Amino acid sequence: MKIIPPSFTVLDQLDQESLPVRIEYCGRVCYKSEDRIDRESAIPFVARMAEHGHNSVLEMGVLTLEVECPGQEPVDELFRCQPKYLFIDIPEENRLLVTGSVRAFREMLLFHPDSALVQAMSDFLLRRHDWFFTGIRPQSGPAPVPTIRVDKIALEEVDRFPAPLLERHRHIAVKFVVNRAVTHEIVRHRPCSFLQESQRYCRYSDDKFGSEVTFIRPLFFAEGSVEYNIWQQAMRETEKMYLQLLETCTPQAARTVLPNSCKTELIVYCNLAEWKHIFRLRTSKAAEPSMREVMIPLQEDFRERFPGVFQ
């Protein structure tokens, strides 16, 4: 049995990587298969996720497009589509900012292929990333729209957006290492994307887990106190029963004895506007103490990174 404190990591290094690399890293957290990542594994992994419809994984890659479109009709047509999971702003006439995940752009083409703006953005993405529309690409590809110009906006440029646009178009991911009681609350937030370590597939008796279950140290009990010793004994007995069940059962069956104190890894990915909302709720005095334990220092981290938004 292992006991560790809760923690978080802002995955800003992933912002410098390509979309497939980013998506693969996040996706493999679910199965704790990060050891399978190599220089050639990202695109096949993403294509496989797309082929099998694992849309939650495809939400872990976001990009921002700048679209110049003469005339109002294509813009009105796009908004009539009510595209899901996209953030769209019109900072000036004939110019759109469109931010979305790989899933969002795929579903945009899948459900609204006749929109001129959808065709133009899909054609642009298809030429840059031929894996982008795996499984749903039309035989001839989206029809090019010569009157509409599409460009990708680099992250460095997004970071220079004024605060109102930065809040909506800047996405950032955080990996939490916390107990499952905390993650049960975090995943209630919308709109966010989540990927979580899967007890259904992870077999904690394996060598890569140290053949043991890891638990998060509870802040409610002082180490060495009577209450802490009771908790520790309960976790030790739980681990014993879990490992015993694994001798005859699958991980998804054995996990039914695991408690909320189990360590889990959860990646939360959303824009700064949603992070503001999360901090407003999860750092207040009314919030669950274990949540405050990670959210208060994370909020301070965000204030340093994006002072124009979080001050």
Of 241, 269, 291, 262, nearest in space to 199 by CA? 262
Whether residues 236 and 156 share a domain: the answer is no
Coarse DSSP helix, strand, coil percentages of the chain, rounded to the nearest 5 percent: 50, 20, 35
The pLDDT value recorded for residue 142 is: 62
Residue 128 belongs to what domain range?
18-169
Domain count, the chain: 2
The pLDDT value recorded for residue 145 is: 74
282 flagged as catalytic: yes
Whether residues 147 and 247 share a domain: the answer is no
Whether residues 213 and 73 share a domain: the answer is no
Whether residues 24 and 150 share a domain: the answer is yes
Candidates 80, 282, 303, 305; catalytic one: 282
The pLDDT value recorded for residue 135 is: 83
The pLDDT value recorded for residue 53 is: 87
Block means of pLDDT (10 residues each) for the chain, length 311 residues?
Answer: 98 93 96 93 94 92 95 89 86 94 92 90 89 77 79 96 97 98 95 95 96 98 97 98 98 98 98 97 96 98 96 82
Whether residues 162 and 34 share a domain: the answer is yes
Secondary structure letter of residue 88 according to DSSP: E
- The reported pTM is 0.94
Whether residues 262 and 208 share a domain: the answer is yes
Whether residues 143 and 204 share a domain: the answer is no
Dihedral sign (CA 257, 259, 265, 271): positive
The span from the CA of 145 to the CA of 120, in Å, is 5
How many helices (H) does the chain have, and how many strands (E)? Answer: 14, 10
Whether residues 226 and 83 share a domain: the answer is no
The pLDDT value recorded for residue 56 is: 94
Among 114, 141, 169, the domain boundary falls at 169
Tokens of 7: 């923690």
* Cis upstream peptide for 191 (omega within 30°): yes
Radius of gyration over alpha carbons of the chain, in Å?
Answer: 22
Q: CA-CA distances (angstroms) from residue 293 to 220, 275, 299? A: 11, 16, 11
The pLDDT value recorded for residue 131 is: 85
Q: CA-CA distances (angstroms) from residue 252 to 23, 35, 127, 201, 249? A: 25, 22, 41, 7, 8
Q: What is the CATH number of the domain that holds 193?
A: 3.30.1360.170
The pLDDT value recorded for residue 71 is: 86
Q: Is residue 295 within 8 Å of residue 287, measured between CB atoms? A: yes
